[in-house]
A and B are shown apart, each in its own frame.
Chain A
Amino acid sequence: MKHLACLFLCLLLISGCDWMPGRPTLAQKWRSPEDVVAFKDLYAQNCLACHGDGQSKAGSITLKNPVYLAAIPRDVLRSTIANGVAGHNMPAFSVAAGGSLQDSQIETLVDGILAWADPKKLPATPIPPYAAALGDVVSGKAAYTASCASCHGPDGKGGKAGSIVDKYYLSLVSDQYLRSVIIAGRPELGCPDFSSRRPGSPMTPQAIADVLAWISFQRVNEFDQPLSQPPAQR
């Protein structure tokens, strides 16, 4: 009888309380990849590992960077997420390109990333265009010496910061990526953006294109031969 009473009490307790620790919450419910719609979750599950989120740092460029977000056009951002960067380690995410994200999810990501933009933190100088043709190699060397050599060494092979002309490094990153880094820097790692490398004299769009040309012309093929000949001195 006592046991029955105990049992009854237990049952009463249970039916009264909906907070039992074993009760599954909706948050624990399994969700298919298509059901993930919140930007925060989408970003955490798909991008965080390689791009970080400002808090956590990662190997590739941080998207949560005011200068970067001011530079990159919306459709470039969208198509980069959807199609990846061919030949480089940015995967394609759209279902059409073999990834796992629906177009609507990519749109959410684009919106969410651009919403990180913070115009108040932008430098006074106009932001250079996201994409542009390579500039001149020879002036590039001079611009490099002026803006970068203090950290990356006199010929780019490394100083306070590491080498940016290492043949393996160069074969892993695209020109556009290098350009993005030159514009937006990697402030979280100590590489300043285009406006703050030399106090008081931001890099001009021309200087950016020239430095990029100087770096890019040091690419080599698998036999260590230069990929492209520097154009004859002007």
Chain B
Amino acid sequence: MKSPVQKLSDLGKDLFLWFDDRLHVKKIWDSTAGHHVPQSAGSWFYVFGSATLLCFMMQLVTGIMLALVYVPSADEAYATLEYLTYHQQLGWFLRAVHYWGSNFMVGIMLLHMTQVYLFGAYKYPREITWISGLVLLVLTLGLAFTGQVMRFDEDAYWGLGIGAAIMGRVPFIGQQLVDFMLGGQIIASETLSRFFALHVFVLPGSVIAIVSLHLRMVLTKGINEYPVPGMVVRRQTYDKEYAAIIKKEGVPFFPKAIDKDIIAAAFVIGGIVTCACVFGPKGPSGPPDPLQINASPRPDFWFLWIFSIAALMPEQIETVALLAGPAVIGLILVALPFFNGTGEKSWRRRPVAVIIVLLTWIGLGMLTYLGATSPWSPVMNAWSAQSTPDAQILHRSPLQLQGAVVLQYKQCRNCHAIDGLGGERGPDLSDVGMRLTRPQLTRQVVQGGGNMPAYGQNLSPAEVEALVDYMASLVPAGVPPARDYTLPQKTKN
């Protein structure tokens, strides 16, 4: 007589066999999770791929939850976000996790790509793995960009504006491309619908498809063995060598090599949740109103470097660089496994590769830093809102006091701080009288220079005089004002 427990487990077994007979679950499991990988691939360096995938899955889940509330229309998108952020219980947290998940996904993906490059994993026979990875990078950046548009606030507006400006530079069909991207001449509801479709259907669908291909390649061509200096890849012999490695020290991915991936997953989730808790979601900032001059938008983190490039690049080469740059870089990356598909894998024997990686990261890092910290956008309401410390007001003559007013009225404060208060686009003026003489001050105001507009046309002689008299008085106590030593000493009038 069988016990009821026994019976139940038999039933379970039968049920499984019934399904397995039809769906071949066990076979699929064995050939995927159970596939053999080189033991050396169970390394901390190999966790980035699975971590990226994990981020993507978190994005899917949180994204679906967001889509339950979000209304992709220009009128309501902003309101639904405000509702989520300020009124829905934990809505802000959901938004924060989705936002940080996206940041983490791009970041970890770049780490993954760096690791793959440094470990020579793109070499023969894993060309398609590499190229599908590149497609995934583009798709992910696309997701991040379209996601930023979903906020449909002034940052989104800025991003779209820059995107359209770049598109518009394409010769001959530029305008058509812009129309296609924006769904018309201007950024409007059509634009949002378009980007919503991209963000929730086209791009995630493509990612799922390409990820399948990417993983399929990992299964058919195997995971890259941990490179050993001196072990060179040759097209004729590599497959046999890899088979030998698997035979000698291959272990099933599950459960033998997955432990580090799981720990990494915990760290990634922990990181995303912590960032979401501590830093919260981004925006929404002001609504996308082209008439809203008070805006000082910044793109999301991973696009800050583009912001810097756009701000720093000399205008003459902008078109060429913006159009040809990505094309050339893309071409090189796609061609990489073909012109550099054999030879040493270990980064220890590939100094050029190491230098390229370092330069790329340092370059991107510096541009991002500039983009995040440089005060390119003026503080738009400083002219009427920023007070002036007593030290820069007291003991000034009536004319100098008027100079302080003109400094506000002409909106100099939007670009110039006094004692750290105000815009930072130009130098702080708190002690400018120590640096510049009256003629120099006059010249700067009237003729402009650097990134400062010339005010000559917009100031009356009295306003110039008041401004210069005031700025010349901005000297720290006990320090002599700037003097022009080429002139004989004159007494102040």
A interface vs B, CB < 8 Å?
3, 6-7, 10-11, 14-15, 20-24, 26, 29-30, 32-33, 44-50, 52-53, 56-60, 89, 91, 158, 161-164, 166-169, 171-173, 189, 222
How far in angstroms is the closest Cβ of chain B from A103?
18
Beta-carbon contact of B408 and A50 below 8 Å: yes
Beta-carbon contact of B463 and A172 below 8 Å: yes
Known: A3-B266, A23-B93. A59 touches B408 (CB 8 A): yes
* Residues of A with C-beta under 8 A to B402: 59, 89, 168-169, 172-173
With A and B bound together, what is the CA distance between A72 and B275 in angstroms? Answer: 54
Cβ of B120 < 8 Å from any Cβ of A? no
Cβ of B180 < 8 Å from any Cβ of A? no
Beta-carbon contact of A168 and B86 below 8 Å: no
- Flag B352-391 by CB within 8 Å of A: 1 or 0 each: 0000000000000000000000000000011111111110
How would you classify the secondary structure of chain A's contact residues: helix, strand, loop or mixed? loop
With A and B bound together, what is the CA distance between A77 and B279 in angstroms? Answer: 44
Beta-carbon contact of B400 and A162 below 8 Å: yes
Chain B minimum-CB-distance residue to A189: B394
Beta-carbon contact of B387 and A56 below 8 Å: yes
With A and B bound together, what is the CA distance between A172 and B462 in angstroms? Answer: 7
* Residues of A with C-beta under 8 A to B284: 30
* Residues of B with C-beta under 8 A to A24: 85-86, 92, 280-281
* Residues of A with C-beta under 8 A to B86: 24, 26, 29
How far in angstroms is the closest Cβ of chain A from B421?
10
Beta-carbon contact of B277 and A7 below 8 Å: no
Beta-carbon contact of A169 and B398 below 8 Å: yes
* Residues of A with C-beta under 8 A to B408: 49-50, 58-59, 89
With A and B bound together, what is the CA distance between A166 and B396 in angstroms? Answer: 14
How far in angstroms is the closest Cβ of chain B from A126?
27
Beta-carbon contact of A57 and B398 below 8 Å: no
How far in angstroms is the closest Cβ of chain B from A93?
9
With A and B bound together, what is the CA distance between A62 and B12 in angstroms? Answer: 86
B interface vs A, CB < 8 Å?
82, 85-86, 90, 92-93, 96, 153, 262-263, 265-266, 269-270, 273, 275-281, 283-287, 292, 294, 381-390, 393-394, 396-409, 413, 460-463, 465-466, 469
How far in angstroms is the closest Cβ of chain A from B288?
12
Chain A minimum-CB-distance residue to B409: A89
Chain B minimum-CB-distance residue to A91: B409
Known: A10-B273, A168-B465. A3 touches B85 (CB 8 A): no
* Residues of B with C-beta under 8 A to A58: 387-388, 393, 404-405, 408
With A and B bound together, what is the CA distance between A89 and B408 in angstroms? Answer: 9
With A and B bound together, what is the CA distance between A221 and B153 in angstroms? Answer: 50
* Residues of A with C-beta under 8 A to B386: 48-49
With A and B bound together, what is the CA distance between A158 and B398 in angstroms? Answer: 10
How far in angstroms is the closest Cβ of chain A from B398?
5
How far in angstroms is the closest Cβ of chain B from A231?
26
With A and B bound together, what is the CA distance between A142 and B415 in angstroms? Answer: 46
* Residues of A with C-beta under 8 A to B275: 22
With A and B bound together, what is the CA distance between A148 and B406 in angstroms? Answer: 26
Beta-carbon contact of B461 and A168 below 8 Å: yes
Beta-carbon contact of B385 and A46 below 8 Å: yes
Known: A32-B286, A166-B399, A169-B402. A22 touches B82 (CB 8 A): no
Beta-carbon contact of A169 and B384 below 8 Å: no
Beta-carbon contact of A163 and B294 below 8 Å: no
How far in angstroms is the closest Cβ of chain A from B67?
21
Beta-carbon contact of A22 and B280 below 8 Å: yes
Known: A89-B406, A89-B409, A171-B460. A3 touches B263 (CB 8 A): yes
With A and B bound together, what is the CA distance between A73 and B184 in angstroms? Answer: 53
With A and B bound together, what is the CA distance between A161 and B353 in angstroms? Answer: 70
Beta-carbon contact of A14 and B273 below 8 Å: yes
* Residues of A with C-beta under 8 A to B396: 162
Beta-carbon contact of A222 and B461 below 8 Å: yes
* Residues of B with C-beta under 8 A to A46: 384-385
How far in angstroms is the closest Cβ of chain A from B91?
10
With A and B bound together, what is the CA distance between A158 and B399 in angstroms? Answer: 11
Beta-carbon contact of B82 and A29 below 8 Å: yes
Beta-carbon contact of A22 and B399 below 8 Å: no
10 shortest interchain CB distances as A-B pairs: A162-B397, A22-B280, A59-B404, A59-B405, A56-B387, A89-B409, A3-B266, A168-B462, A169-B399, A171-B462
How far in angstroms is the closest Cβ of chain A from B192?
18
* Residues of B with C-beta under 8 A to A172: 399, 402, 405-406, 462-463, 466
Chain B minimum-CB-distance residue to A10: B273
Known: A21-B277, A23-B93, A45-B385. A60 touches B405 (CB 8 A): yes
Beta-carbon contact of B398 and A20 below 8 Å: no
Beta-carbon contact of A50 and B93 below 8 Å: no
With A and B bound together, what is the CA distance between A193 and B277 in angstroms? Answer: 56
Q: A56-B388, A59-B404, A168-B466 are in contact. List 9 more A-B contacts (CB 8 A).
A: A3-B262, A6-B270, A7-B266, A10-B270, A21-B277, A29-B85, A59-B405, A158-B397, A171-B462
